Homo-oligomer: A and B are copies of this chain.
Amino acid sequence: MNPDALRGHMDALLLSVVEHEPLHGYAIIEALRDRSGGALDVPTGTVYPALRRLERAGFLASEWATVGGRKRRTYRLTDSGRAELAGERTAWTSFTSVIGRVLNPQT
């Protein structure tokens, strides 16, 4: 997966993955890998800063927890984040429609 292709879609992916259950960073990476059938293996250097950015934007909220002697920062979707995710899903649909039409015009 070309990294540049992800540009501008990472937010939607991250928000989507914590939609129904709060997850910590490491688990988010695993969830992305699982949900994509292994196609998405996002490095920690991408995910952790992105999560902080999304929290700063108010779309996520985090809490520290200690599980099995290990510290985790668990992220959950805020109401604002839920609205953002809905918008991102709509944007995704129109994005694929537009690019798809240009890439494969049926003329």
Contacts and interface: CB of A to CB of B under 8 A. Distances in A.
Interface of A: 1-9, 12-13, 16-17, 32, 35-37, 39-40, 88-89, 91-92, 94-96, 98-105
Contact of A4 (B2, B7, B36, B92): B7
B89 A103 contact: yes
Given A36-B101, A40-B98, A5 B2 contact: no
7 contacts: A4-B8, A5-B9, A5-B95, A13-B99, A36-B102, A40-B98, A88-B103
Contact of A101 (B2, B37, B101): B37
A98 B1 contact: yes
A40 B102 contact: yes
